[in-house]
C-alpha cells in the first residue's frame, strides 16, 4: 500500500522544504521502505528550462531529459533514487494538459473549472508513473501557504486526504520560529498564523517542522502544539546545522521519522545512520584543504550551481579534504591583470552557462590553467571555452569562437545543424520552442584507450546527462589534436565530441555533459573525485 506524505511551507520561502523532504526520504529508506519524491511547483512556466538562474537557481536535468527544479537534485543525492520526468510538475504543465484536453473535447462540453478539472489533473500527476511497490510518495508543494498560485495544489492534496483517508496520507508543515534579539526570545506567532492559513484551506497539519537557530524550550513547544492543534511530540525542531548531510541525523534525534511511522501505525526498528554520521565526521575533520576557483556567470547566486557545489564537496569527502570554493565572476578576467585572482588556487573549474557575457573571461581562466599547469575542469560551456582557447593559442586559429556569439572566422563551436549532415542525433525535444533545440538527458559516450578519462572511469562506455544547445565542431578535431588537445570521449556514432583533455598537463579535462548531476555523498562522481585528488596534489606543490 502506497502512502502519500505532503510537505508544505509557511511564513517565508527558502526554509528548506526540499532538504526536509530529501532527509525524510533518506530516513524512511534507512528503515527499509521504498520511497519516491515529487515536486509540485506553482509557477506558470511549463518547466524551469527558460528561467533565469538568478530567479530560479539551478535547472536539474533527469536521465529522461526533463528540466526540473533543483530540489530533485537533493532528492537524488539523499536517497539515490533516480528522478524522472514524472516526478516534477508545474502549474504551467497542469494548465497545458487541461487546455489540450478541452480542445480535444474530452470534457464533453462541460464548463472547465479549477475544481474539479485542474485539481483532478494535479491528483492524476501525484499518483501517476509509480512502479506500484513504493511504500511512500513524498510530495513537496513549492511556494508558501498564502500564495495565490498555490491554491489549486493545496486543494488537490486536501481532496486526496479525504479520498484516501488518514491511513494513507500525512501532512507536514514547515514553518519559521524566528528569534527576536531585542525581545530575547523565539516567537511562535508566525507559525500559529501559518497553520491558521492552512486550516482555512481545509488542511490540518499532522506534523510541524519548525526551523529555528536555537533550541525550543518545553513551554514554547507546548504553546505551538496547543494553538496549532497538534500533539506536542509532533512539533519537531529543525535546528540549523553546519552541513546539510547532518540534517537526517538531526531530524532523527528530534523524532521526526518516528512521528511519521507512528502516524501510519508502523512499528519498525531504529534506522542505521552510521553512513550519515561518517560523512559528517569526514566533513568536520578533514586531513587537508584545497582551494578551487569556480569561474562562472551566476556566482552571485550560488543556488545556480547547487549540484556543482555539492559534487565538489563529494570529491572532498572522497579525498578527506575540505574544499574551499572561491566563486569568481568570469567578467573580472576580461580586465588586464585580473588573472592574479587565480594565483594560489589548487584547481580551476569553469561550469556551464549560456550567452556571450563573461565568455572571454572563461577563456582566460582556461588559458591560465593550461599555461600554469593548474588542474582544470571545464563543464559543458566550460569545455567549449577551453576548446576555443586551445584553438586560438595552440592551433594558431586566432579567429576561433562560437557561433552562439555571432558569425566568426573559425566556428569551433556551433549548432549541430550548422555542420552535421543528416539525422546524426535523436532529438529528445521537438517543436519550435526554446527547449526543442537542446540536447537534454542521458546520452552515451565512448572513451578512448590510454586516455586519462578512461583511467578515471575504469570503463570504455559511460552515460551522462546533457543540457546544451551548442557542440564542439567535429571538423576541427584533427587540427586540435595535432596541437595537443586530445578528443578522448565521443558519441557512439563518432560525430559529437564529448570529452577533451590536454596532454602533458597534470589534469586538464573538458566534458560536454554535466557530471555533477549524478554525484552523491556516498557515490562521489569519479571525475570530481579525481579532480580534487589532482588539486590536493597541486596544494602540496604550491
- Residue 228 is among the residues annotated as catalytic for this protein: no
Measured in degrees and rounded to the nearest 5, phi and psi for residue 474 equal -60, -25
Query: CA-based Rg of the chain, rounded to a whole angstrom?
Result: 25
Tell me which of 404, 464, 516, 525 is the catalytic residue. Answer: 516
Task: Give the cell for residue 89.
Answer: 510538475
- Residue 74 is among the residues annotated as catalytic for this protein: no
Tell me which of 380, 466, 471, 501 is the catalytic residue. Answer: 380
Task: Give the cell for residue 440.
Answer: 537534454
Distances (CA, A) of 261 to 108, 211, 250, 386, 476: 43, 21, 17, 52, 60
**Contact indicator for 362, 352 with CB cutoff of 8 Å:** no
* Look-up of cell digits 576557483: 293
Rounded to the nearest 10 degrees, the angle between the axes of helix 306-319 and helix 526-539 is: 60
* Look-up of cell digits 501525484: 126
Cis peptide bond N-terminal to 116, omega within 30:
yes
Q: E-assigned strands of 390-450? A: 400-402, 410-415, 439-447
Residues in the chain: 542
Cα 111 versus chain centre, distance? 39
Number of H helices, E strands in the chain: 18, 23
- Return the H-helix or E-strand segment holding 499: strand 497-502
Tell me which of 466, 505, 514, 525 is the catalytic residue. Answer: 514
- Residue 514 is among the residues annotated as catalytic for this protein: yes
Task: Give the cell for residue 315.
Answer: 570529491
Question: Maximum Cα–Cα distance for the chain, whole Å?
Answer: 75
- Running DSSP on this structure, what letter comes out for residue 466? E
In whole angstroms, give the CA distance from residue 538 to residue 542.
6
**Active-site residue set:** 380, 514, 516
Amino acid at each position: 500500500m502506497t502512502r502519500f506524505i505532503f510537505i508544505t511551507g509557511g511564513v517565508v520561502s527558502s526554509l528548506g522544504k526540499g532538504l526536509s523532504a530529501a532527509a525524510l526520504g533518506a530516513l524512511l529508506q534507512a528503515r527499509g521502505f521504498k520511497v519516491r519524491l515529487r515536486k509540485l511547483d506553482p509557477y506558470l512556466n511549463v518547466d524551469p528550462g527558460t528561467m533565469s538562474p538568478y530567479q530560479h537557481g539551478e535547472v536539474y536535468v533527469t536521465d529522461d531529459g526533463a528540466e526540473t527544479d533543483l530540489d530533485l537534485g537533493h532528492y537524488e543525492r539523499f536517497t539515490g533514487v533516480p528522478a524522472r520526468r514524472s516526478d516534477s510538475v508545474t502549474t504551467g504543465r497542469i494548465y497545458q494538459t487541461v487546455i489540450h484536453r478541452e480542445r480535444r473535447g474530452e470534457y464533453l462540453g462541460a464548463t472547465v473549472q479549477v475544481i474539479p478539472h485542474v485539481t483532478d489533473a494535479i491528483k492524476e500527476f501525484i499518483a501517476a508513473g509509480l512502479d506500484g511497490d513504493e511504500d511512500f510518495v513524498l510530495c513537496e508543494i513549492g511556494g508558501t501557504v498564502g500564495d495565490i498560485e498555490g491554491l489549486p495544489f493545496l486543494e488537490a492534496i486536501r481532496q486526496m486526504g479525504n479520498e484516501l483517508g488518514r491511513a494513507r496520507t500525512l501532512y507536514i508543515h514547515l514553518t519559521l520560529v524566528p528569534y527576536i534579539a531585542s525581545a530575547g526570545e523565539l516567537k511562535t506567532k508566525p507559525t500559529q498564523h501559518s497553520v491558521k492559513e492552512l486550516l482555512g484551506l481545509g488542511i490540518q497539519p499532522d506534523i510541524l517542522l519548525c526551523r529555528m537557530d536555537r533550541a525550543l524550550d518545553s513551554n514554547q513547544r507546548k504553546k505551538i502544539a496547543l494553538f496549532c492543534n497538534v500533539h506536542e511530540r509532533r512539533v519537531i525542531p529543525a535546528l540549523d546545522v553546519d552541513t546539510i548531510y547532518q540534517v537526517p541525523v538531526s531530524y532523527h534525534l528530534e523524532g521526526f521519522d518516528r512521528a511519521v511511522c507512528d502516524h501510519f501505525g508502523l512499528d519498525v526498528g531504529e534506522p542505521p545512520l552510521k553512513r550519515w554520521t561518517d560523512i559528517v565526521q569526514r566533513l568536520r575533520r578533514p586531513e587537508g584543504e584545497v582551494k578551487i576557483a569556480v569561474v562562472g556567470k551566476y556566482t552571485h547566486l550560488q543556488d545556480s550551481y547547487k549540484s556543482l557545489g555539492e559534487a565538489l564537496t563529494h570529491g572532498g569527502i572522497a579525498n578527506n579534504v575540505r574544499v574551499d570554493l572561491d566563486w569568481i565572476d568570469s567578467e573580472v578576467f576580461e580586465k588586464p591583470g585580473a588573472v592574479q585572482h587565480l594565483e594560489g588556487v589548487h584547481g580551476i573549474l569553469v561550469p556551464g552557462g549560456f550567452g556571450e557575457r563573461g565568455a572571454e573571461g572563461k577563456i582566460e581562466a582556461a588559458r591560465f590553467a593550461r599555461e600554469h599547469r593548474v588542474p582544470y575542469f571545464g563543464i559543458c560551456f566550460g569545455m567549449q571555452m577551453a576548446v576555443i582557447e586551445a584553438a586560438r593559442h595552440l592551433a594558431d586559429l586566432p579567429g576561433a569562437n562560437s557561433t552562439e556569439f555571432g558569425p566568426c572566422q573559425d566556428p569551433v563551436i556551433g549548432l549541430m545543424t550548422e555542420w552535421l549532415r543528416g539525422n546524426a542525433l535523436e532529438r529528445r525535444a521537438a517543436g519550435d520552442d526554446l527547449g526543442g533545440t537542446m540536447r537534454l538527458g542521458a546520452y552515451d559516450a565512448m572513451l578512448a584507450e590510454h586516455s586519462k578519462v578512461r583511467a578515471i572511469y575504469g570503463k570504455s562506455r559511460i552515460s551522462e546527462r546533457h543540457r546544451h544547445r551548442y557542440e564542439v565542431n567535429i571538423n576541427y578535431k584533427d587540427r586540435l589534436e595535432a596541437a595537443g588537445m586530445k578528443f578522448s570521449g565521443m558519441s557512439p556514432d563518432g560525430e559529437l565530441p564529448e570529452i577533451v583533455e590536454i596532454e602533458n598537463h597534470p589534469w586538464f579535462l573538458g566534458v560536454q555533459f554535466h557530471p555533477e548531476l549524478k554525484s552523491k555523498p556516498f557515490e562521489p562522481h569519479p571525475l570530481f573525485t579525481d579532480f580534487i585528488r589532482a588539486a590536493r596534489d597541486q596544494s602540496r606543490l604550491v
